Structure 1
Amino acid sequence: MMNYKKACNVLEINKKDLENNENNKNEIKKKYRMLALKYHPDKNNSPDAGKKFQEIYEAYEYLLKHNNTFFDVIDSDSDDDYNISDKNSYSWVLYSFLKNVLQKESYNNLFYTIIQRLSTTCEKKALETLEKIDKKTLIKIHEIMNIHRDVLHFDDFFYEKIDEIIKNKIKNDECIILNPVLNDLFENNLYRLNINDNKYIIPLWHHELVYDNAGCDIYVKCNPMLPENIEIDSNNNIHVRLKYNINELLEIEKIDIEICKNPIYLYPSQLKITKSQTIILREQGISKINQNDIYDITRKSDIYLHIVIVC
């Protein structure tokens, strides 16, 4: 018989995390979709798949029914726009799952059309759909499908055909790799790129930009040349790894940290007496990436100083 603890275990949800999460209804749905796809008897050939799928569904229904006290938030994850009456069918579960993982693209009607066709047609017709869509959309869908490959149950041939379609679409594209130094990023430097009499102005603090060149794409990737102890994450935050001897810290008034032309200063009194710690310098990093205005430099990232103190 289903109970709260068992339902959480079946859906692989931590009970405390669920109770402390104001978006817990969406979390339950997310877990249900993932496991329902993995064990759906229409695609999973293991002997106990049907029983496991039923248990997953019962756990899902139980948590939605008995956890209402935590669901005062708006349900931003509804699947009522999909007209399939059997909510246990594989096509509905697949559509619901794909719609969820692509929710950042919720204003693009093309994504919903593609998701519906992938959910309700055979692989041959799905491939015909993918052949007709634009390259950027296809690459995005391919990326999502690869991430969740273990639960989508498309066979290897299907993925191989998608790879072939993408290769055909990008065969005339060009990739340019730039290697700016850290000072270029702090100074918001631009790079002038000339290709086939066309001029492109590249903001070097971006990771990758795509430009159209007579029907073909030019991919410009910026891979900064950084010191071994410095990394830049996907949000352009700068992570610096530092190591100091405690005796050294006792003898100096301030610590000079050379990240760019303008050094950063720390004082030993700012540090805790602990083996490792992280100090965050808010809005002192490089420009954040703005996809709507690639030359925007108004917002700055943070600098993370990861400090290790040894005896």
Structure 2
Amino acid sequence: MKISEALNILNITNYSIHTIHNISLNELKKYYHIQCIIYHPDKNNKDEDATLLFQNINCAYTTLKELITSYSETSENSENSENNANDDLLVLFFNFIINFYSNSDNVANFKQDINNFKVKAHIHIKALLTNLFEYFSIAILEDLYHYLVHYKKNQNDNTNDNTNIYNAVIEIIKTILEEKLEAHSIYILTPNLLNLLNSEIYKLEINDALVYIPLWHNEMKFENNIIKIEPLLDDTITIDEHNNIHYTYYNKYSNIIDLVNAKSNIFIDLADQTIEINISELKFSPYQIYSVKHKGIPKINTLNILDNTHKADIYFHIHLS
């Protein structure tokens, strides 16, 4: 869950995503208890969404609690070590300057000093990045890791320095991600496209608690458990970050001409739906996109995880040859 979402759910208005680490644990508990009193399922037993809303409140509290606890511990432990690291780095730099001017002919000393400086700087930067990435959620770390791996594979600059930098950052993220995942139990749900189009909610039992999972979401968190939703889709179908469906369609010009002559259209089966694409709206082009608005799977509403009223779009990527 994003920090901004957690703030909205707990109705915390006097802190922002940039200042929430300043809130005390007792103050956070007050916000949490107020929302629990208002939305507790026992007081709202006629409301079908009460249990899920309460679950959302619990998730928001857990997210912010982990954040401020992590920040507090890191601030206390890292202040002295960071100062020491800065001092060590400064000493190495001055040694390099002194040797450079007093022993200008001593190439060996010069190289050794600059190498020591580079090694220490690398360690210092590594510690800084490690502290920074510790604050990121598992979802953000996963996205960042996959992005950097993909970017590294496709970059044109393959110099040793750049490669080493990418490898170091990727390794830091990977290590932190593995440590965070070890502290969680992970559940993976694999719905099909029909489950998503029907806005289905899956009931998952975790530690004797019944957790409701809207299948059109990507990932949810309950206490120390992570629930990932990874739909099983045909090779021709993908779903983007906005929950739009992308369908890749191949056909031949000759077949399209036959359909035009027969005054017929293109019909594509999508789960239990049959989508009609009007031939007259297409161009005779090797590639084009045909969109069907608001007929896809629900858009994700982070303030109300059960909201399925707003549907995303369906995009047909039409390739003709």
Q: Give the TM-score of the pair, scaled to structure 1.
A: 0.52
CA change 1:226–1:159 in 2 (3 A) is closer
Residue pairs, 1:277-296, within 5 angstroms: 277-296=288-307
- Paired with 2:295 and 2:289, the residues of 1 have a C-alpha distance of 15
Q: Report the Cα offset of residue 206 of structure 1.
A: 0.9
- 1:167 deviation in Å? 3.4
Whether contact under 8 Å (2:291, 2:313) holds in the other structure is yes
Identity of aligned residues (%): 28
2:213 aligns with one of 195, 202, 221: 202
**Could you tell me which amino acid in structure 1 is paired with residue 208 of structure 2?**
D
Which runs of no fewer than 5 residues in structure 1 stay unpaired? 1-103
- Tell me which residue corresponds to 1:300: 311
* Residue number in structure 2 paired with 1:181: 192
Deviation at residue 239 of structure 1 after TM alignment = 0.6
Change (3 A) 1:211 1:195: same
Per the TM alignment, residue 207 of structure 1 is displaced from its structure 2 partner at its CA by 1.3
Instruction: Kindly indicate whether residue 240 of structure 2 is the aligned counterpart of residue 230 of structure 1.
Output: no
Q: Which amino acid aligns with 1:236?
A: N
Which position in structure 1 is the counterpart of 2:284? 273
1:260-292 Cα deviation digits (max 9, x unpaired):
322111221121122221111122211011222
Matched, 1:218 2:225: yes
Report the secondary structure of 2:205's partner residue: strand
1:241 aligns with 2:241: no
Q: Is the contact between residue 130 and residue 138 of structure 1 (CA under 8 Å) also seen in structure 2?
A: no
Tell me the distance in 2 between the aligned counterparts of 1:230 and 1:141.
Answer: 26
Q: Give the whole-Å Cα distance in 2 for the aligned partners of 1:180 and 1:172.
A: 26
Q: CA deviation at 1:303?
A: 0.8
* Alpha-carbon distance in structure 2 between the residues aligned to 1:242 and 1:154: 41
> 1:185, CA displacement in angstroms?
0.6
Query: In 1, Cα distance between the equivalents of 2:236 and 2:135?
Result: 37
How many pairs were matched up?
200
Alignment of 1:109-128 (within 5 A): 109=21, 122=85, 127=127
Structure 1 contact 186–287 (Cα < 8 Å) conserved: yes
Q: CA deviation at 1:200?
A: 0.9
Instruction: Report which of the two structures shows the higher radius of gyration computed on alpha carbons.
Output: 2
Q: Deviations over 1:216-253 (max 9, x none)?
A: x2221111121221111111111111122333322352
Corresponding residue SS for 2:248? strand
What CA deviation, in whole Å up to 9, does each residue of 1:12-63 have, x standing for no partner? xxxxxxxxxxxxxxxxxxxxxxxxxxxxxxxxxxxxxxxxxxxxxxxxxxxx
* 1:127 and 1:161 in contact (8 A); partners too: no
Distance across 1 between alignment mates of 2:256 and 2:278? 13
Cα distance, 1:106 vs structure 2: 4.5
CA distance in 2, matches of 1:278, 1:125: 46
Counterpart code for 1:304: Y
Distance 2:256 2:294 in 1: 29
Q: Which amino acid aligns with 1:234?
A: E
Structure 2 distance, partners of 1:109, 1:161, is 23
Shift of 1:187: 0.7
**Residue equivalent to 2:53:** none
Q: Secondary structure at the match of 2:297?
A: coil
Instruction: Answer 1 or 2: which has greater helix percent.
Output: 2
CA distance in 1, matches of 2:320, 2:271: 23
1:293–1:236 distance in 2 versus 1, CA, 3 Å: same
What is the CA deviation profile of residues 96-136 of structure 1, one whole-angstrom value per residue up to 9, with x for unaligned ones? xxxxxxxx95565579x889x89x86456984996799765
Code of the aligned partner of 2:315: Y
User: Within 5 Å, which residues of 2 pair with 1:153-172?
Assistant: 163-172=174-183
Q: Give the secondary structure class of the aligned counterpart of 1:258.
A: strand
Residue 142 of structure 1 and its aligned partner are, at CA, apart by 8.7
Q: Distance in 2 between matches of 1:168 and 1:192?
A: 28
TM-score w.r.t. length of structure 2: 0.50
